[in-house]
Amino acid sequence: MDRDATADVNAPHSMGTTIIGVTYNGGVILGADSRTSTGLYVANRASDKITQLTDNVYICRSGSAADSQIVSDYVRYFLHQHTIQLGQPATVKVAANLVRLLAYNNKNMLQTGIIVGGWDKYEGGKIYGIPLGGTILEQPFAIGGSGSSYLYGFFDQAWKEGMTKEEAEQLVVKAVSLAIARDGASGGVVRTVTINSEGVTRNFYPGDQLPLWHDEVEAHNSLLDILNASNPEPMST
């Protein structure tokens, strides 16, 4: 074999990813998987792809891990200065605009898709999708990353306007789980961040507690449990 066995370990980190942002009646919910891969090797199986920019604005990152991190660092820096100058929290629109200016003006060098979500007192909860070329699109919900391909039909069916916080959270978790099930580049756990007038809440859904689909098997801790079972005899005919 001419392929070096360690090629994957040193390759650039990419987040295959499934990321989602959804508005509900009162705020937004951001959701993501937790797999960071370098080639076929899972470099981090519990990464946090939902990153804070300000107290009230968070982003979901997909694509190149390095590119998305640097973009979010710059925007956090600019937003911090902007907040000091303005004397009040920045709006979600301003945060999204700063992200897209970086994404658009450096489109030849960057490879990252970003979903900006947050809450401000003027517009309430808002989601902005900023895919690869640096377009900015305000949407009631946005999906991104390699896993999102499997979710377009799902959202067409399941999305509705004016959901409650609980409905929206369940929708996000279900969607990410579906994508994890079908997309090899997404996996691990599901993380969600809820942002509304009251503040920010983080939630965590471990991989083995995600809803199962028709052809999946119940999770087992270990097949060695059979030794502790009541009847340790081999199967009888």
Partner 1 sequence: MSSIGTGYDLSVTTFSPDGRVFQIEYAAKAVDNSGTVVGIKCKDGIVIGVEKLIASKMMLPGSNRRIHSVHRHSGMGVAGLAADGRQIVARAKSEAHNYESTYGEPIPIKELADRVASYVHLCTLYWWLRPFGSGVILGGYDRDGPQLYMVEPSGVSYRYFGAAIGKGRQAAKTEIEKLKLSELTCLEGVIEVAKIIYGVHDEAKDKTFELEMSWVCDESNRQHQKVPEALLEEAKAAAQAALEEMDAD
Residues marked as catalytic: 17
Helices (H), the chain: 7-10, 65-86, 92-105, 152-158, 165-182
Residue 211: what are its φ and ψ, rounded to 5°? -60, 140
Find the part of the chain contacting partner 1 (CB under 8 A) among 14-22, 33-41, 92-100, 104-112.
Answer: 92-100
Smallest gap from residue 97 Cβ to partner 1 (A): 3
Chain center to CA of 106: 23
User: How far apart (Å, rounded) are the C-alpha atoms in residues 41 and 8?
Assistant: 6
Q: Residue 203 in contact with residue 50, Cβ under 8 Å?
A: no
> Does residue 85 interact with partner 1 by CB under 8 A?
yes
Instruction: Pick the closer one to partner 1 by CB: 101 or 200.
Output: 101
Among the residue ranges 89-97, 155-163, 215-223, 226-234, the one whose residues contact partner 1 (CB under 8 A)? 89-97
How many positions of this chain bind partner 1 (CB under 8 A)?
A: 13
185 touches 43 (CB < 8 A): no
Among 76, 82, 165, 174, binds partner 1 (CB under 8 A): 82
Q: What is the layout of strands, in order, in the sheet containing 190-196?
A: 141-144, 19-24, 27-32, 190-196, 199-205
Between the two ends of the chain, the Cα-to-Cα distance in Å is 46
Of residues 20 and 98, the one with the C-beta less far from partner 1: 98
97 near partner 1, judged by CB under 8 A: yes
State which of positions 206-235 bind partner 1 (CB under 8 A): none
Q: What DSSP state is assigned to residue 89? A: P
Instruction: Specify the stretch interacting with partner 1 by CB under 8 A; choose among 18-26, 91-99, 163-171, 193-201.
Output: 91-99
- Residues found near partner 1 in the complex (CB under 8 A): 82, 85-87, 91, 93-94, 96-98, 101, 122, 136
